[in-house]
A and B are shown apart, each in its own frame.
Chain A
Amino acid sequence: MADIIVIGAGLNGLVAANYLAKAGKHVLVLERRALAGGQAVTESFGAGFQADVLHAGGQLRPDIVADLDLARHGLPESTSEPLISLHPDGRQLRLTADSDSETLASIGAFSKRDAERWPDFVAFMNAAAGFLDAAYRTPMPRLPHVKLAEGLPLARLAMKLRGLGARDMFRVIRALPMSALELTEEWFESDGVRAAIGAVAVHGATLGPMSAGAGFSLMHNWLNRGGPGHRRVENGIGGLANALVAALKARGGQLRVSAPVEAVLTDDQCARGVRLASGEDILAPIVISGADPRHTLLDLVGAPDLPPEFVWATQSIKMRGSVAKVHLLTDGAHALPSGTLVVAPTVRYVERAYDAAKYGRTSLEPYLEITANGPVVSIHFQFAPYALRGAEWSQERAVLERIAIDTASNALPQLKSSIREIKSLTPLDLEKTYGLTEGDLNHGQLLLDQMLFMRPMPGWSTHKTPIDNLYLCGAGVHGGGGISGAAGRNAAAAVLRGK
Chain B
Amino acid sequence: MLETLELKRTPFHERTSRLSVAQNWRRWAGYAVVGSYELSLDHEYWAIRDRAALIDVSPLMKYMIEGPDAARLLHKVTTRDIFKMGVGQVYYTGWCDEDGKLLDDGTVSRLSDQSFRMTSAEPSLRWLAMNAVGLDVKVNEVTDEMAALSLQGPKSRAVLNRCCADRLDALKYFRLMNTGISGAPVSVSRTGYTGDLGYEIWVQAEQALTIWDALMAAGADYGITPCGILAMDMARVEAGLFMVDADYTASNHAWIEGQKSSPFEMGLDWTVNLNKKGYFVGRRALEQEKKTGSAWKLVGLDVDWVGLERLFAEVGLPPQIPGMAVRASLPVMAEGKQIGYASTSTWSPVLKKYIALAHLQRPHYEPGTAVTMEVTVEHHRRHAPAKVVKLPFYDPAWKKK
Which residues of A are in contact with B by a Cβ distance under 8 Å?
269, 298, 302-312, 315
The answer to whether B130 touches A309 (Cβ under 8 A) is yes
Question: Using Cβ atoms and an 8 Å threshold, which residues of chain A touch B356?
Answer: none
The answer to whether B98 touches A303 (Cβ under 8 A) is no
The answer to whether A312 touches B130 (Cβ under 8 A) is yes
In angstroms, Cα B98 to Cα A306, docked, is 10
Q: Report the interface size class on chain B.
A: 10 to 19
- B133 in contact (CB, < 8 A): yes
Would you list 20 pairs from A and B whose C-beta atoms are within 8 A, ordered by A residue? A269-B284, A298-B133, A302-B134, A304-B72, A304-B133, A304-B279, A305-B278, A305-B279, A307-B98, A307-B281, A308-B127, A308-B130, A308-B131, A308-B133, A309-B97, A309-B98, A309-B130, A311-B130, A311-B133, A312-B133
Question: Using Cβ atoms and an 8 Å threshold, which residues of chain A touch B278?
Answer: 305
Question: Using Cβ atoms and an 8 Å threshold, which residues of chain A touch B98?
Answer: 307-310
Choose among B133, B281, B284 the residue that contacts A303 (Cβ–Cβ < 8 A).
B133
- B135 in contact (CB, < 8 A): yes
Question: Using Cβ atoms and an 8 Å threshold, which residues of chain A touch B72?
Answer: 304
In angstroms, Cα B279 to Cα A269, docked, is 7
Binding site secondary structure of chain B: loop
In angstroms, Cα B69 to Cα A305, docked, is 13
Question: Using Cβ atoms and an 8 Å threshold, which residues of chain B touch A304?
Answer: 69, 72, 76, 133-135, 279
Question: Using Cβ atoms and an 8 Å threshold, which residues of chain A touch B281?
Answer: 307-308
Question: Using Cβ atoms and an 8 Å threshold, which residues of chain B touch A306?
Answer: 279
- B51 in contact (CB, < 8 A): no
Report the minimal beta-carbon distance from B388 to chain A, rounded to whole angstroms. Answer: 35
- B283 in contact (CB, < 8 A): yes
Given A308-B127, A309-B98, 5 other A-B residues pairs in contact with their CB atoms under 8 A: A302-B134, A303-B134, A304-B133, A305-B278, A307-B98
Which A residue's beta carbon lies closest to that of B73?
A304
Q: Which of A298, A303, A310, A315 has the most CB of B within 10 A?
A: A303
Report the minimal beta-carbon distance from A208 to chain B, rounded to whole angstroms. Answer: 32
Question: Using Cβ atoms and an 8 Å threshold, which residues of chain B touch A303?
Answer: 133-135
In angstroms, Cα B65 to Cα A164, docked, is 58
Question: Using Cβ atoms and an 8 Å threshold, which residues of chain A touch B283?
Answer: 269
Which A residue's beta carbon lies closest to that of B277?
A268
In angstroms, Cα B69 to Cα A302, docked, is 14
The answer to whether B133 touches A315 (Cβ under 8 A) is yes
Question: Using Cβ atoms and an 8 Å threshold, which residues of chain A touch B130?
Answer: 308-309, 311-312
Question: Using Cβ atoms and an 8 Å threshold, which residues of chain A touch B279?
Answer: 269, 304-306
The answer to whether A298 touches B134 (Cβ under 8 A) is yes
Report the minimal beta-carbon distance from A299 to chain B, rounded to whole angstroms. Answer: 9
Report the minimal beta-carbon distance from B371 to chain A, rounded to whole angstroms. Answer: 35
In angstroms, Cα B70 to Cα A194, docked, is 56
Question: Using Cβ atoms and an 8 Å threshold, which residues of chain A touch B284?
Answer: 269
Across chains A and B, which 7 residue pairs bring their CB atoms closest together, nearest first? A303-B134, A303-B133, A308-B130, A307-B98, A308-B131, A305-B279, A311-B133
Which A residue's beta carbon lies closest to that of B72?
A304
In angstroms, Cα B72 to Cα A306, docked, is 13
Residues of B186-223 whose CB lies within 8 A of A: none
In angstroms, Cα B278 to Cα A302, docked, is 13
Interface string of B46-76 (1 = CB under 8 A from A): 0000000000000000000000010010001
Report the minimal beta-carbon distance from B275 to chain A, rounded to whole angstroms. Answer: 12
Question: Using Cβ atoms and an 8 Å threshold, which residues of chain A touch B97?
Answer: 309
In angstroms, Cα B135 to Cα A310, docked, is 16
Report the minimal beta-carbon distance from A468 to chain B, rounded to whole angstroms. Answer: 9
In angstroms, Cα B202 to Cα A317, docked, is 42
Question: Using Cβ atoms and an 8 Å threshold, which residues of chain A touch B69?
Answer: 304
In angstroms, Cα B390 to Cα A363, docked, is 71
In angstroms, Cα B130 to Cα A304, docked, is 10
Residues of B240-299 whose CB lies within 8 A of A: 278-279, 281, 283-284
Which B residue's beta carbon lies closest to that of A467?
B279
Question: Using Cβ atoms and an 8 Å threshold, which residues of chain B touch A307?
Answer: 98, 281
Q: Which of A269, A298, A303, A304 has the most CB of B within 10 A?
A: A304
Question: Using Cβ atoms and an 8 Å threshold, which residues of chain B touch A310?
Answer: 98
Question: Using Cβ atoms and an 8 Å threshold, which residues of chain B touch A315?
Answer: 133
Report the minimal beta-carbon distance from A154 to chain B, rounded to whole angstroms. Answer: 24
Interface string of B73-99 (1 = CB under 8 A from A): 000100000000000000000000110
Which B residue's beta carbon lies closest to that of A303?
B134
Which B residue's beta carbon lies closest to that of A309?
B98
Which B residue's beta carbon lies closest to that of A267?
B278
